[in-house]
A and B are shown apart, each in its own frame.
Chain A
């Protein structure tokens, strides 16, 4: 399996892909954010997207869900259901919308039973009492978990998570990572995760897509996350601490 391909053709490691991206180009006015990016994601895979700030990680996700115009092809397997967790949202503090309002809205939109919401809350370790608060008065971590719970309702086949653990405290981060890992491993949900936490990426991702202006690459974490490769991508020497599995 190639880790770097001059033609920018990057292939996932499984057959039966849920997503195929071919020569994807996104530009805002005259600035090209993503150029000629091609890759595929296998059903049930766990793809981590890394790259320096401004490399287009969030833009890639927004293109994948169809929120911004792009050139090239993005092909999702027919009938794919998404769950999307955006990067930290800036919510007006005095909106009279509670967590319950938001989850109830998702239940209606995705024609799901109430039990799905309770199950999602349990997975992200969010207490039901928090739901009566307006979303603007929740802490950053609580709101982030609420967004993950929101994404889980409707039984998505694919989860797109843009730094889902940003602002979440340490136990919360662990619970979230665990929940995402379980969904992917036990229930076969394909996960696409943007993360700056390279140790999380190393442990949980089956493959890593590394966005860099010059050379984007895709490969298993052991191949992509080498000190040499990372310093090439980030333009500065970089290392990360690998916990052993017992220490997680």
Chain B
């Protein structure tokens, strides 16, 4: 693997780890996975129009996130429910607009080196996502605890929600080249889930999620190249392994009565 691809991979993993933290804490886990399917009609259409599938995926994901955000705001349904609907429809349209090997490649990732344009796009997009999450972390955190408290604190909750969905969409599109959009959902969710189980503060969660995403991506890419296997499944396999390890490491959950006491006993 060349150095250029390695840098892009690392940036993508950091973005996925960070976005994943808030996706997992907002209980968007399943929605996040389903969301990646929204890329399908865009990829299909791009193939028909002989455009780069990445452009198609990105446009579809952005349009999908706008649609989900708008329906969510209008109906007060949960992100999960709305994504479920949009994803099914997208999958139906996607399978009508395109078939063939290229589509499979887009879904499960394509090995091979990236063009300079692709590299620049991927790097800029990954850095933009990372910058957004780090800049918006306090606002995201407060609105996660309570929407009302966030509004009263002067946070534009609706636009923040849209920005987050867009960051999510961009991250999924980023992973298309290496992991494929289907597996990228897993790279967003699994490291963040590992982090949620192990961390006791938000900085801890960020660090563990980034570490797990980086380790899975870099180690997975290396093993895949060594064993002549597609990188996507190997990367997700390693992330899954880390998740099962985190189960072993987890301290016993505090009984409820424990936490209800005014002065809780020492944490085990």
- A residues contacting B by CB (< 8 A) are 62, 65-67, 81-84, 86, 89, 91-98, 100-102, 104-106, 108-110, 132-142, 147, 150-151, 154, 160, 169, 172
- B residues contacting A by CB (< 8 A) are 25, 27, 137-139, 141-142, 144-149, 151-155, 195-197, 199-205, 253-254, 256, 259-264, 267
A138 is contacted by which of B146, B200, B259 (Cβ under 8 Å)? B259
Q: Are A98 and B146 also in contact (CB < 8 A) when A84-B152, A110-B153, A139-B262 are? A: no
Identify 10 residue pairs between A and B in the complex whose beta-carbon atoms are under 8 Å apart, listed by A's number.
Answer: A82-B154, A84-B153, A91-B145, A96-B200, A97-B144, A105-B141, A105-B142, A109-B155, A138-B259, A172-B262
Output the nearest chain A residue to B140 by Cβ-Cβ distance: A105
**CB-CB < 8 A to A138: which residues of B?**
259, 264
**CB-CB < 8 A to B201: which residues of A?**
96-98, 100-101, 132, 134
Output the nearest chain B residue to A100 by Cβ-Cβ distance: B201
B138 is contacted by which of A62, A93, A109, A140 (Cβ under 8 Å)? A109
B21 to chain A, nearest CB (A): 9
Q: Which of A91, A105, A134 has the most CB of B within 10 A?
A: A105
Output the nearest chain B residue to A139 by Cβ-Cβ distance: B262
Distance in angstroms between the alpha carbons of A94 and B198 in the assembled complex: 10
Question: Inter-chain contact count A-B, CB under 8 Å?
Answer: 109
**CB-CB < 8 A to A135: which residues of B?**
145
B196 is contacted by which of A96, A132, A169 (Cβ under 8 Å)? A96
Q: Are A154 and B259 also in contact (CB < 8 A) when A97-B201, A133-B264 are? A: no
Determine whether the beta carbon of B202 is less than 8 Å from that of A101: yes
**CB-CB < 8 A to B264: which residues of A?**
133, 137-139
Determine whether the beta carbon of B151 is less than 8 Å from that of A65: yes
Distance in angstroms between the alpha carbons of A135 and B262 in the assembled complex: 13
**CB-CB < 8 A to B259: which residues of A?**
93, 136-139
Q: Are A150 and B202 also in contact (CB < 8 A) when A96-B195, A137-B259, A139-B259 are? A: no
Output the nearest chain B residue to A158 by Cβ-Cβ distance: B152
Given contacts A137-B259, A141-B262, could you give 7 more A-B pairs where the C-beta distance is less than 8 Å? A65-B148, A82-B154, A86-B148, A91-B145, A96-B196, A96-B202, A97-B145
